[in-house]
A and B are shown apart, each in its own frame.
Chain A
Amino acid sequence: MIKITKPVAAGLVLGSALAISPSAADAHNSNDTEGGWHYRTDDLCVYGGNQFNHDVQTVEVGSYKAYSYFGAYKASCQSGYTRPAGSLAAKAEWRKSGSLCAYSDWVYSSSSGQGMQVVFRNQKCGEGVVAMKGFHYVNHSGWYGGAINGPSHDNSQK
């Protein structure tokens, strides 16, 4: 299990309650959010996060790189890294009692940017305890990223 450990630069807030950010995560049960770094180099950092909040499930992929001070000191993964359209990809899977019950196709970014959030509305897999798995990738002369399991949520409890 990977808990949210975003650095300051990754503490993005979309001005939306759907945003997977430390401030948003604090407003919910900690079990509702999972996230972490898939990849960290000076040239590219890939962040992935999942959020499961009742009828809304969100998968987020973020593209970062090191921030350079005076061309020398580099703060790892502290700067957003703009990638062209089609260079961010994400998808989601849902499981109930360990069995795959729903999944999405890959969703790609349609414009240049430094991140993408894919929001799925309404329940998947009916009532009961449902776990989600998010896939988060950034293209940088090849796909970099990975998948994160969780969180799980009891859809029967409102």
Chain B
Amino acid sequence: MMMNKVRAGLILSTVAVCAAFATATVASAALGGTPEPLLPPALPDDGTTEDSPPALGPDGTPIGADVDEITVYIVTPDGESIPFQAPVDRSIVSTADGRQIELVEVTSTPEMNEASAGEDAP
């Protein structure tokens, strides 16, 4: 009888120790896990153009990568978007801390400037 009580006590103690260890492990994981990423800043949903880059092409390269001109759209007062092809000049520069940055200079064309200033588009 005495031995049964001792045995039951040992079993209960073992279960209690295991439960405490499991609780501590879960709590530790919750407190010390990978930090949650910050969300992008909230913006008003004015939704006039796409909110993220287009999906990757079949070869894994984004559509429109490595082009020597891009399209800039001038929007007329009545809401019409007029596309203009703007030449792009690309160069690689190093920052003071040694980072490699691509500098992309978009050159406006005279026609684009006229349309942008509110004059008649070609």
Shortest C-beta distance, A63 to chain B (Å), equals 9
- Give bound CA distance, A34 to B21, whole Å: 49
- Inter-chain contact count A-B, CB under 8 Å? 182
- B96 contacts across to A, CB distance below 8 A: 11-13, 15
- Asked if B104 contacts A117 (CB within 8 A), the reply is yes
In the complex, whether B120 has a CB less than 8 A from a CB of chain A is no
In the complex, whether A110 has a CB less than 8 A from a CB of chain B is yes
Main secondary structure, interface of B, reads loop
Residue of A nearest to B93 (CB): A14
Query: Among the interface residues A15, A93, A118, which one has the most CB atoms of the partner chain B within 10 A?
Result: A118
Shortest C-beta distance, A50 to chain B (Å), equals 12
Residue of B nearest to A88 (CB): B102
Interface residues on B, range: 35 or more
Known: A109-B65, A110-B90, A122-B113. A41 touches B35 (CB 8 A): yes
Q: Nearest 9 pairs between A and B by C-beta?
A: A146-B40, A12-B95, A86-B65, A108-B65, A80-B99, A122-B108, A110-B66, A89-B53, A115-B101
Q: A residues engaging B (CB < 8 A)?
A: 2, 9, 11-16, 19, 36-42, 62, 80, 82, 85-89, 91, 93, 99-127, 135, 137, 139, 143, 145-149
* 27 A–B contacts from the bound complex (CB under 8 Å): A12-B101, A14-B95, A14-B103, A19-B95, A42-B34, A62-B99, A86-B61, A88-B102, A91-B49, A102-B72, A102-B73, A104-B86, A104-B106, A105-B72, A106-B50, A106-B54, A106-B70, A108-B66, A110-B67, A113-B92, A113-B101, A119-B105, A121-B105, A121-B106, A122-B116, A125-B116, A147-B40
